[in-house]
Chains A and B, each alone.
Chain A
Amino acid sequence: MNDSGLSLWMTGSGPDQDVVLASRVRLARNIHGYAFPNSLPAEQGEKLVAEVEGAVGRIQASWNLSLARLKDVSPLDRQVLVEKHLASPLLVADPIRFEEVVTDDRESISIMVLEEDHLRMQVLLPGLQLDEAWGVVNRLDDSLEDRLTWAFDKKLGYLTTYPTNLGTAMRASVMMHLPALVLTRQAGPVFGALAQMGVVVRGLYGEGSEGEGHIFQISNQVSLGRSEEELVHGLSMVAQQVAGRERQAREFLGRNSETAIRDRVGRAFGILAYARILTSEEAIRLLSDVKLGQDLTYLPSFASATFSEMVSMTRPGILQRMAGQDLDAAQRDMLRAEVIQKHLMRT
Chain B
Amino acid sequence: MNGGTCERCGVQPAVVYVAHVVNGQKTERRLCESCAKAEGAWPGVALNWPGQLGQLFGGMVPGQANKTETNLAQMQCARCGWTTAHLQQTGQLGCDACYETFGPLLEPTLRRIHGAVEHGGKIPHRVGGALRAERQLVQLRGELREAIQQEEFERAAEIRDQIRALEHASTGEGVDGHE
* Interface residues in chain A, defined as those with a beta carbon under 8 Å from any beta carbon in chain B: 24, 30, 32, 34-36, 38-40, 42, 85, 88-90, 93-94, 96-97, 116, 138, 141-142, 145, 149-159, 161-164, 166-168, 170, 173, 198, 200, 202-203, 205-209, 217, 221-228, 230-231
Q: Is A154 within 8 A of B120, CB to CB?
A: no
Q: A207-B5, A224-B118 are in contact. List 6 more A-B contacts (CB 8 A).
A: A90-B28, A142-B125, A156-B119, A162-B91, A221-B5, A225-B118
Nearest A-chain residue to B57, judged by Cβ:
A163
Q: Is B40 an interface residue (CB 8 A)?
A: no
B interface bracket (residues with beta carbon within 8 Å of A): 35 or more
Q: Is B119 within 8 A of A155, CB to CB?
A: yes
Q: Is A221 within 8 A of B113, CB to CB?
A: yes
Q: Is B28 within 8 A of A93, CB to CB?
A: yes
Pairs A–B under 8 Å by Cβ, sample size 25: A32-B96, A35-B80, A35-B94, A36-B93, A38-B92, A39-B25, A39-B81, A39-B82, A40-B25, A93-B28, A96-B26, A141-B122, A149-B124, A149-B126, A149-B127, A152-B124, A155-B118, A162-B93, A164-B10, A168-B119, A205-B3, A208-B15, A221-B5, A222-B113, A227-B120
Instruction: Give the Cβ gap from B122 to chain A, nearest Cβ, in Å.
Output: 6
Q: Which residues of B contact A30 (CB under 8 A)?
A: 96
Q: Is B147 an interface residue (CB 8 A)?
A: no
Q: Is B63 an interface residue (CB 8 A)?
A: no
Q: Chain B CB within 10 Å — which of A24, A170, A207 has the most? A: A207
Q: Is A200 within 8 A of B4, CB to CB?
A: yes
Q: Which residues of A contact B110 (CB under 8 A)?
A: 163, 166, 224
A-B pair count, CB < 8 Å, reads 169
Q: Closest 10 A-B residue pairs measured CB to CB? A: A206-B3, A225-B116, A157-B119, A151-B96, A207-B3, A224-B114, A168-B121, A88-B2, A39-B94, A35-B95
Known contacts A205-B3, A207-B15, A207-B30; A157/B121 CB under 8 A: yes
CA distance A110 to B27 in the complex (A): 22
Kindly supply a per-residue 1/0 record for chain B positions 76-113, scoring 1 wherever the CB is within 8 Å of any chain A CB and 0 otherwise.
Answer: 00011110000000111111100100010010011001
CA distance A158 to B43 in the complex (A): 37
Known contacts A90-B28, A156-B119, A200-B5; A207/B14 CB under 8 A: yes
Q: Is B166 an interface residue (CB 8 A)?
A: no
Q: Which residues of B contact A222 (CB under 8 A)?
A: 113-116
CA distance A162 to B99 in the complex (A): 11
Q: Which residues of B contact A207 (CB under 8 A)?
A: 3-5, 13-15, 30
Nearest A-chain residue to B127, judged by Cβ:
A152
